């Protein structure tokens, strides 16, 4: 009765599990929705085994291997079925992962059954569930099912405890028939996933824990350092074992992770932009009273900044409402959400660890995310490149100043505002001292006046003042008869030179000599005052010498405090005109300098706000930049964490920075043209970003998250490291030396829309982007070769760059060799790899998996006959993780998408083009044929319809 009760309980559990809908998550899937449950399952070790079955009588090319774990009460706890093909040596190989709780470790066993693949007809979900439940209710050695006896080739059973305690890496069991006979039909070999020739130093007591730690990496990363916990989250992983050409084994761990940087960096960027726009409003508000035109420009700047600040504060408020658990990922279904404009779509780190007989743990990283673009504003009027160029054509005459020049202008305004009252006050003090004719105080007043006037002249001699005055005159002359409507509703003619508060520059006053004479006059006035005081003092001393000795002695006693009234009036009459002239010259210089510097500050604010385009364009640019920034920072952190012990890599960061290679798979047709234009501008804006390494306060994840500092056009990302790690870095990095980023973008469209663009459209945008990026890559490599000529493999870059040039210049459709050569160069120089398509799903997953398998073949001698199976296995993982949807054909087509015999060398192969063969194209070829015929019909019938209409 107890056995029957347990059987019905197991039946209910299986009915509920089979009644669930199939996996349909586009990006996150069940592994992300049930993250807490997955983390809780870590308490049970994940046992990962490799099975190799050999059947005496070869009856089928494909078989189904059914593996189940059975507890002490004959109840199956885990069941899985895999369809495998026969290898060339006649064996059927598969890998199995299952949870093994302590009860199973001591008293459980594992069963392996082989079925003919063609005998297992597809059934509905309920039928499969009922058959599975019936199989679970039947005792393991119950052979009452005649159908099972006919389709089952053999079965084997072994103890889990014996497998874990065994010192041998594998054990063999005989396959027996289901009818209970003593005949042997084959052999099954169960192997722990360990590389051949791997040495184990642990004793037998620790073997089980070490084995579980190696094999349960499908849920958590073995490199569980504080740095990785801060950079990655929600990790899923799968382990494979592939055979090399010399018949040895590779252990491959493929890991896909989310990152908290998806939300943390955009939040910091929004805060920095809000602060920057608020500071700019305060700067223009602090300017003195301006002419109507300049005041209108000030209102334009304030209105522009307030609009962006309001939008960004609203976005911040919406992002703050999200919980911590949901602040690591943005699904592609939310890419058009207004509140998620700044968040990258489907940002993941794709990491692959390869452990071979001759290598221990080599990591390869690729960051994947949806192409940085503003899907909320859509692409009806094009992308950023087109929108910015249209707006730039309207504002060609605008004057712009650099950020450093604007800063200098603010400093000069502050200096002038401080020095002018000081000079006026010291001049008044000089006149008051003349009344007393006190030579000591007179000398102190003169010295102070000379010092402050010299500082004033030095400040005015800045070439920026002279340039600004010339720009004011040129702008006044060019806009003499134009008008402009400002944001405050004021319609004014642009003639700032004739308005109050603007510099009054006549045509004869616009030369450089005029401004030089202005500040030189201040110095000449000061020289006249000094000369006059010296002459008056000399005359006073001469009068004293001509007096009698007794009178002179009495006058000397009285001269420090007083003098005759005639002498006092003479001093004041002599100095007063000179002091008045000095005031007038200072006032004139201050007026011109203040107007010039106000112009610089105002034009700098206009250039940073209004001149960038309407607020919608600026917000779009900031959003695209934010998406690319999160991806680049994630890739840089992974690259930095992996190279902390590599002195050549650290020296490369100091010398030439890091190369960030963006791989785009967008087509040049339809709305993806706008996405590509957005992505081009966003990648170019990342060139202004720099990294700095700082010392973290602690090893807590929050203290190890990167922080953003600076303003637009000069952001610095501070990457904290634990104190012990930070102290091992070179002194330059510890001192805060900036690490520059060199971003490049290579794009090749690979879908059916690109076929339309190649046939009927225009691909010049893609060609121009690839050509410019190729030149930047060559410049980076030349700089690296010049500064670090002894770097390993630096000499081979010339051949790779030549191959890249030839690929870019080749006029081929879907020339994916450009992508492969660019990726190869990027890995050669320790760069950051980033791959994007529209949503980082189908095309991105196909690209990443093929690149990983190519790396295994080229770098780790993956057997050519196992290349297709490795590619199929990795793409099945993407399907189970929800990253790939519907990019494969229906049953009957290989998931690999290409024939491995067609690609002998990855360097000369056509990479994704192999996946785009006409026989196994991702999308129906009939669609292209029908589209072309419809276009021909439209060209024929449109004149017939239009001619009668206009006759």
The neighbouring-strand residues paired with 240 are 252
Q: How many residues does the chain have?
A: 951
Per DSSP, the residues of 505-546 read --GGG-SHHHHHHHHHHHHHHHHHHHHHHHHHHHHHHHHHHH
Best CA proximity match to 619, nearest among 280, 328, 836, 376: 376
Coil, strand or helix: which one is 720? strand
Residues 371, 372, 376, 381, CA torsion sign: negative
CA 19 – CA 129 distance, rounded (Å): 8
Read off φ and ψ for residue 356, nearest 5 degrees: -120, 180
For residue 736, how many other CB atoms are within 10 A of its CB? Answer: 11
575-to-134, 563, 570 alpha-carbon distances in Å? 117, 17, 9
Residues 6+ apart with CB under 8 A from 429: 445, 448
According to DSSP, residue 575 is labeled H
871 half-sphere exposure, CB direction, 13 A CA radius: 26
Rg from Cα positions in the chain: 39
Residue whose pair of structure tokens reads 């024939």 in the numeric block: 899
For residue 902, how many other CB atoms are within 10 A of its CB? Answer: 11
335 Cα distance to chain centroid = 17
CA angle 634, 637, 640 (to 5 degrees): 150
The neighbouring-strand residues paired with 604 are none
40-to-13, 37, 99, 444 alpha-carbon distances in Å? 19, 5, 12, 81
Segment (H or E) for 12:
helix 2-18
CA 310 – CA 304 distance, rounded (Å): 10
Coil, strand or helix: which one is 115? strand
Best CA proximity match to 244, nearest among 733, 766, 859, 776: 859
Structure-derived torsion over alpha carbons of residues 179, 183, 186, 188, reported in degrees to the nearest 10: 70
Q: Is 837 tagged catalytic?
A: yes
Residue whose pair of structure tokens reads 């004479």 in the numeric block: 517
- Dig out the tokens for 706 from the structure: 């990167």
- Specify whether the backbone of 884 is left (phi greater than 0), alpha (psi in -120 to 50) or beta: beta
164-to-170, 216, 364, 486 alpha-carbon distances in Å? 10, 14, 31, 79
Judge whether 932 and 759 are in contact, CB under 8 Å: yes
Best CA proximity match to 420, nearest among 589, 601, 592, 596: 589
Judge whether 49 and 192 are in contact, CB under 8 Å: yes
3-state helix, strand, coil in the chain (%, to 5): 55, 15, 30
Within 19-120, residue ranges assigned H as helices are: 29-33, 35-40, 102-107
- Dig out the tokens for 484 from the structure: 């402009």
Judge whether 156 and 188 are in contact, CB under 8 Å: yes
The residue annotated as part of the active site, out of 837, 887, 903, 915, is: 837
Segment (H or E) for 192:
strand 184-192
The neighbouring-strand residues paired with 664 are 747, 836
826 half-sphere exposure, CB direction, 13 A CA radius: 29
Give me the active site residues, please.
837
């Amino acid at each position: 009765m107890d056995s029957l009760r347990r059987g019905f309980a197991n039946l209910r559990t299986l009915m509920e599990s089979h009644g669930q809908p199939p996996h349909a998550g586009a990006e996150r899937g069940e592994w992300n929705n049930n993250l807490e449950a997955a983390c809780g399952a870590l308490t049970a070790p994940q046992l990962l085994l490799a099975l190799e079955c050999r059947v005496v009588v070869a009856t089928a090319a494909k078989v189904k291997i059914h593996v189940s774990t059975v507890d002490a009460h004959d109840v199956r706890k885990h069941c899985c079925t895999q369809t495998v093909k026969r290898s060339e040596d006649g064996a059927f190989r598969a890998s199995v992962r299952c949870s093994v709780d302590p009860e199973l470790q001591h008293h459980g066993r594992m069963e392996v059954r082989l079925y003919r693949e063609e005998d297992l007809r597809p059934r509905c979900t309920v039928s499969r569930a009922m058959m599975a439940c019936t199989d679970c209710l039947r005792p393991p050695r119950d052979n009452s099912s005649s159908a099972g006896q006919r389709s089952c080739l053999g079965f084997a059973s072994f103890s889990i405890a014996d497998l874990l305690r065994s010192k041998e890496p594998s054990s063999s069991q005989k396959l027996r028939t289901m009818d209970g006979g003593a005949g042997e039909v084959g052999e099954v070999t169960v192997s722990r996933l360990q590389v051949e020739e791997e040495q184990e130093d642990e004793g037998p007591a620790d073997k089980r824990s070490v084995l579980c730690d190696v094999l349960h990496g499908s849920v958590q990363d073995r490199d569980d350092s504080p740095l990785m916990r801060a950079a990655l989250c929600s990790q899923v992983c799968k382990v494979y074992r592939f055979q090399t050409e010399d018949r040895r084994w590779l252990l491959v761990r493929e890991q896909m992770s989310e990152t908290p940087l998806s939300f943390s960096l955009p939040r910091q960027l929004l805060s920095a932009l809000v602060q920057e726009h608020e500071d700019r409003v305060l700067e223009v508000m602090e300017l003195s009273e301006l002419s109507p035109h300049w005041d209108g420009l000030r209102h334009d700047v304030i209105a522009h900044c307030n609009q962006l600040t309001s939008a960004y504060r609203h976005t911040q408020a919406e992002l703050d409402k999200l919980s911590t658990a949901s602040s690591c990922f943005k699904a592609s279904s939310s890419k058009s959400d207004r509140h998620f404009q700044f968040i990258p779509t489907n940002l993941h780190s794709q990491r692959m660890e390869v452990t071979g007989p001759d290598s221990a743990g080599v990591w390869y990283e690729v960051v994947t995310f949806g192409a940085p673009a503003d899907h909320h504003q859509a692409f009806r009027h094009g992308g950023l490149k087109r929108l910015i160029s249209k707006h730039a054509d309207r504002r060609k005459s605008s004057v712009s100043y650099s950020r450093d020049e604007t800063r200098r202008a603010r400093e000069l305004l502050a200096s002038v505002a401080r020095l002018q009252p000081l000079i006026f006050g010291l001049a008044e003090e000089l006149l008051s001292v003349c009344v007393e004719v006190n030579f000591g105080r007179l000398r102190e007043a003169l010295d102070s006046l000379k010092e402050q006037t010299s500082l004033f002249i030095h400040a005015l001699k800045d070439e920026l003042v002279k340039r600004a005055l010339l720009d004011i005159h040129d702008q006044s002359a060019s806009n003499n008869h134009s008008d402009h409507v400002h944001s405050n509703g004021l319609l004014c003619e642009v003639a700032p030179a004739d308005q109050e508060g603007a510099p009054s520059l006549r045509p004869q006053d616009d030369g450089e000599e005029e401004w030089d004479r202005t500040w030189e006059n201040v110095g000449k006035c000061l020289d006249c005052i000094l000369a006059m005081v010296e002459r008056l003092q000399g005359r006073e001393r001469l009068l004293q010498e001509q007096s009698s000795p007794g009178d002179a002695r009495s006058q000397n006693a009285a001269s420090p405090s007083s003098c005759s009234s005639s002498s006092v009036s003479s001093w004041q009459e002599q100095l007063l005109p000179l002091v008045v002239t000095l005031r007038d010259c200072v006032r004139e210089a201050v007026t011109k300098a203040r107007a010039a510097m106000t112009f610089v500050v105002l034009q700098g604010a206009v250039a940073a706000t209004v001149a960038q385009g309407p607020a919608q364009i600026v917000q779009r640019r900031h959003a695209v930049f934010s998406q690319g920034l999160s991806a680049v920072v994630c890739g840089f952190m992974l690259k930095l964490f992996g190279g902390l012990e590599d002195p050549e890599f650290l020296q490369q960061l100091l010398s030439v920075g890091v190369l960030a290679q963006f791989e785009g798979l967008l087509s040049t047709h339809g709305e993806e043209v706008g996405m590509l234009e957005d992505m081009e501008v966003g990648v170019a804006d990342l060139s202004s970003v720099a990294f700095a390494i700082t010392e973290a306060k602690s090893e807590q994840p929050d203290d190890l998250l990167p922080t953003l500092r600076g303003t637009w056009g000069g952001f610095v990302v501070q990457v904290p490291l634990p104190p012990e790690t930070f102290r091992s870095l070179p002194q330059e990095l510890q001192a805060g030396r900036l690490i520059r980023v060199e971003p490049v973008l290579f794009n090749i469209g690979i879908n059916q829309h690109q076929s339309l663009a190649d046939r009927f459209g225009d691909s010049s945008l893609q060609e121009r982007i690839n050509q410019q990026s190729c030149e930047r890559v060559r410049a980076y490599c030349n700089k690296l070769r010049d500064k670090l000529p002894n770097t390993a493999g630096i000499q081979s870059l010339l051949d790779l760059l030549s191959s890249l040039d030839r690929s870019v210049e080749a006029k081929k459709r879907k020339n994916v060799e450009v992508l492969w050569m660019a990726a190869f160069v990027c890995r050669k120089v320790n760069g950051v790899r980033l791959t994007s398509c529209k949503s980082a799903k189908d095309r991105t997953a196909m690209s990443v998996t093929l690149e990983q398998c190519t790396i295994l073949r080229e770098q780790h001698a993956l057997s050519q006959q196992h290349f297709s199976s490795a590619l199929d296995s990795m793409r099945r993982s993407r399907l189970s993780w929800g990253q790939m949807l519907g990019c494969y054909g229906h049953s009957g087509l290989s998931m690999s998408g290409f024939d491995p015999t067609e690609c002998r060398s990855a360097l000369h192969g056509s990479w994704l083009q192999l996946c785009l063969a006409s026989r196994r194209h991702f999308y129906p070829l009939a669609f292209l044929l029908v589209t072309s015929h419809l276009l021909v019909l439209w060209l024929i019938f449109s004149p017939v319809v239009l001619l009668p209409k206009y006759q």
